[in-house]
Each structure stands twice: as C-alpha cells, then as structure tokens.
Amino acid sequence: MDLTFEYLKKKLKTKNISLSYQRLKVLEYLTQNRCHPTVEQIFTELQKDIPTLSKTTVYNTLRILAEAGLVKVIIIEDKETRYDIDTEDHGHFKCECCGTIFDFPIDIDSLIPEDLSKFKINDKNVYFKGLCPECLSNKNEFK
Amino acid sequence: MDLTFEYLKKKLKTKNISLSYQRLKVLEYLTQNRCHPTVEQIFTELQKDIPTLSKTTVYNTLRILAEAGLVKVIIIEDKETRYDIDTEDHGHFKCECCGTIFDFPIDIDSLIPEDLSKFKINDKNVYFKGLCPECLSNKNEFK
DNA sequence: GTTCCTGCAAAAGCTTTGCAGAAGA
DNA sequence: TCTTCTGCAAAGCTTTTGCAGGAAC
C-alpha cells in the first residue's frame, strides 16, 4: 500500500478535507516518522517549524485524519494515545523498558473464531508488551 | 482455571497480600461480575455496601491485584481502564453501540510471527470493535 | 461575505500523590 | 508499638470545549 505524502494529500482532497499548512505538516510528520508518535511528540517537533502551533490544532487534525480513515489510533497505555499512518492490519509490540513500539505482521483474520460470525467487526487490534532484543541483552550485560 | 472467590483468597495469602474488607469486596465483585468493569462501576456498586469507601482504595486494590497477576488490565479506550479477573489469553470485542464487552476465545500463540522470536513477550492483547448481533438487528428494525 | 481553521484559555475527566487518622498484627 | 490500610483533598495529565480572531474561497 502506497503511503507517500503525495498519495495521502490526494486522498484527503477526495474526502473534501482542506489542507492547511498545519494539517499538511502533521501528515508529513506521520509519513516521515513511523514511530507511532503521541500528540506530545508531534506537537513538540512541529512547533520548531510552526512556533504559533497549538496542541488543539494537532488534536483536531488527528481526529479528522482518524475519522477519514487515514490514520489509526493506537491505545496501548492509558494517557498515551498514539497515531499510526499505516492503517493496514498489523500488530504492535511495546518494549516495557525502552518504550519503543515495534510493528510486526500478523494474520488477524485467520484467528477470528466462529463465535464472532454474527458480529460486525470494524476495528482489529493486537498488541504485546515485553522486552525488545536490545533491552534483553542490556539486562544480561549487567548481571 | 479455577477462578472462585475462595481460590483467589488463598492465592492472595500465598502472595502475602493482606485481605481487608475493602479488598475482599473488590475481589468478590470481580469474580461475580465478569463484565470487565471500570473503577467507576466497581466503586459505585461497592459503595452501597461500604458507604465510607473511597475511590482511592479501589484504585489501590486494583493496582495491587494487577501487580500480583490476579487481575488483567484492559485498555480499549482512553479514559476507560477496565479490569478482568480472567487472566487467561482471550480476546475482547467492544460493541461501539451498546458498549458491552464480549469475550471470545483466540489462539494468540499460534499467530506470533518469527519476527518476535528474539523478544520476550510478557503481555498479549487482542481486541476488536464493531457492532454486536443485538445492536445490528436493532439497526435493521429501524431502517 | 461566508465558511472554515487556528489557537488561547478554561473546563472536564481519570488517575495519582500526600498525608493524617484508623485498623490490624 | 509498629506497620499497613483507608479515605479525603489536592495535584497532575491528557483531552475536550468555547470562543474570538484570522485565513481562505
């Protein structure tokens, strides 16, 4: 799936979402920083370019992008909502030590049990927590 | 897995967690109400029995139970942390219409990709959102 | 001229913290 | 007596809301 900045700009136009400078910058940030950023991270980084930027605008923009289906909201921890420009099904692994969030492929549909056949599924989420290889090896070093 | 009140009381003793009346009541509520309650729900219900109960105590107790591994923290929505006495792997489905959370069986381990072989997985979560059969049929009625 | 967008300030909502008094060992 | 637990009040954080000014069309 094509997730270039240009592609997403076009997609926004087809959804009749106007592209202010602030919105463009948020979109650009998400395409260039595939680290599942929080509002805080996006805001802090973009403020360097747009000194007058307000957090409200970041919140507004992310809500609009999420409603338009261009961004997926990721909730792993309370008080730490994150945003992912990659809306295709995949899993997330959060390292409890360094906080990094890793993507991993997962065939969610193959897992859906018969029990849910009468449910309409709109959103699928899989996330794990634990320790990433780097933090694991750091721990062993200090043993 | 045995999740009776008696079993859990014994388990707490083996973990050296003392059992005040408040803690017992929270544990009892969780075993008798497998609806993945929020702090608010637990507090409101228990307050009927314990008029002096404070929300802080509910928070404290749930934290202790979670740290002891007797309760699983479920985060599906921001600002809506829920607690599940069933800590075995299973999926959750939240109906976006009525808000009910349904359990469903899922063989998560069979899905874990090779990519994660070097990660230490401590916690696995799967949740879907959408519409439950009841809300789906209600929608059709009003068409 | 209308409509929509931005950004400040304030409010809202959930959770945590500090602390004094009570309960329990 | 010493430790632990409870519960009130206050603080802390993230997110939302109201609203006035500004930009875009």
Same domain for A76 and A95, yes or no, is: no
Considering its fold, how many domains does chain B have in total?
2
Same domain for B67 and B115, yes or no, is: no
Structure tokens at B40: 């608010």
**How far, in Å, CA of B140 to CA of B127, rounded?**
25
**How far, in Å, CA of B132 to CA of B130, rounded?**
7
Same domain for A76 and A97, yes or no, is: no
Same domain for B54 and B14, yes or no, is: yes
Quote the Cα angle for A11-A15-A16, to 5°: 115
Same domain for B75 and B96, yes or no, is: no
Residues 6+ apart with CB under 8 A from B69: B87
Closest CA to B13 of B87, B84, B70: B70
pTM to 2 decimal places: 0.92
User: Mean pLDDT over all residues of chain B?
Assistant: 92
Nearest residue (Cα to C1') for C8?
A54
Between A82-86, B15-19, B94-98, B104-108, the lowest mean confidence (pLDDT) is in B15-19
Range of the domain at A97: 91-141
pLDDT tens-digit readout, B7-41: 878 888 888 899 999 999 999 999 999 999 999 99
pLDDT confidence of residue B11: 84
pLDDT confidence of residue A40: 97
Contact of A18 with A2, CB cutoff 8 Å: no
Q: Residues of A with CB below 8 A from B123's CB?
A: 128-130
**How far, in Å, CA of B132 to CA of B6, rounded?**
33
Any atom of strand D under 7 A from CB of B52? Answer: yes
Enclosing H/E stretch for B30: helix B21-32
> What CATH number does the domain containing B27 carry?
1.10.10.10
Same domain for A74 and A25, yes or no, is: yes
pLDDT tens-digit readout, A56-97: 999 999 999 999 999 999 999 999 999 999 999 999 999 999
Same domain for A95 and A78, yes or no, is: no
Same domain for A66 and A102, yes or no, is: no
Mean pLDDT of the region A18-32: 94
Contact of B104 with B93, CB cutoff 8 Å: yes
Range 42-101 of A in CB contact (< 8 A) with B: 75-79, 81, 91, 93, 96
Question: Long-range contacts of range A40-43, CB-CB < 8 Å, 24 or more positions apart?
Answer: A42/A83
Same domain for B95 and B64, yes or no, is: no
> What CATH number does the domain containing A112 carry?
3.30.1490.190
Same domain for A44 and A108, yes or no, is: no
Domain stop point among B84, B113, B133 = B84
Rounded percentage of chain A residues whose pLDDT exceeds 90: 83
Same domain for A80 and A36, yes or no, is: yes
Q: Sorting pLDDT into bands at 50, 70 and 90, what band is B130?
A: very high
Residues 6+ apart with CB under 8 A from A79: B78
Any atom of strand C under 7 A from CB of A25? Answer: no
pLDDT confidence of residue B81: 97
Domain stop point among A69, A84, A99 = A84
